[in-house]
Amino acid sequence: MTRSTTILPVAAMFALALIAWKAIVVIGGLPVFILPPPEVVGERFVRAWTDGTIPPHFGATLQEVLLGFVVGAGLALVIGYGLARSALVERLLSPYLVAAQATPILALAPLLALWFGAGLLSKVVICALIVFFPVAVATMVGVRSVDAGLLELGRSLRATRRQIVTTLEVPAALPSILGGMRVGVTLAVVGAIVGEWAGASQGLGVLVNLARGSLFDIPLMFATLLTIALLGIVLYGLVVLTERRLVGPR
């Protein structure tokens, strides 16, 4: 499909969603503090960004998300590789990994905030924890998917351990790893917001609470939610772009 033929339906879908939103407000006769109409949210969004309400909170959240993603995904690559290559490592670690994943992050966040304080560190830990699982599993699956025939070829060509990793295992596992990172990066946003709810002075999660509570500025709350959603979309898009660059046609 060409660019213009994809843009048109996408724009139409967006317009349709806005019309539906507006229709619900008008037909339902909903007051602004329940569901503000799209044009009010749009205007508040622009104003909150230009008058400096959102930017510092946005910066704080972005920092937590990026640091947490890098730490979580980095650890996940190493551990995921170990899980794929050693049955012992898998047997020893997987119960704890699954347990950590099965415990809702919402329930863990207050504890982590208690241990690591109300600053940046506790959010990075929460983000890293939530990013870790999908990336580790994707790495494990990806590394295991390397064709045994290719590994034998590598051996017949006297590839070193390091060459096996860089020329066979990593390229073969890359599509799977980046698939895990797509999931991970959106979860990192969730992690940051949850972490901020458990105790913070700055961040988009804090702003949502402020707007709903002491400020009672519901359009601002919606503008903040919109910012959070856009952050997730942009980060996801960046991973997809990286994927296109690195993986290419096969």
Which residue lies nearer to other proteins by CB, 43 or 152?
152
CB of 176 to other proteins, least distance (A): 13
Place of tokens 């898009």: 237
Which residue lies nearer to other proteins by CB, 50 or 163?
163
CB of 243 to other proteins, least distance (A): 13
**Using CA atoms, how far apart are residues 72 and 101, in angstroms rounded to an integer?**
13
**Using CA atoms, how far apart are residues 246 and 235, in angstroms rounded to an integer?**
17
CB of 153 to other proteins, least distance (A): 5
CB of 144 to other proteins, least distance (A): 17
Which residue lies nearer to other proteins by CB, 63 or 167?
167
Closest CA to 64 of 243, 235, 244: 235
Which residue lies nearer to other proteins by CB, 41 or 172?
172
CB of 174 to other proteins, least distance (A): 8
> Which CA distances in Å does 67 have to 56, 106, 225?
17, 20, 21
Closest CA to 101 of 66, 67, 133, 135: 133
Residues forming the site for other proteins (CB under 8 A):
147, 149-150, 152-159, 163, 167-168, 171-172, 247-250
For 198-225, give one letter per residue: b (16+ CB within 10 A) or e.
Answer: bbbebbbbbbbbbbeeeeebbbbbbbbb
Which residues have C-beta within 8 Å of that of residue 193, sequence separation ≥ 6? 61, 203, 204, 205, 208, 228
Which residue lies nearer to other proteins by CB, 169 or 196?
169
Place of tokens 């979580």: 72
* φ/ψ (deg, to 5) at 72: -65, -45
CB of 125 to other proteins, least distance (A): 35
Which residue lies nearer to other proteins by CB, 71 or 164?
164
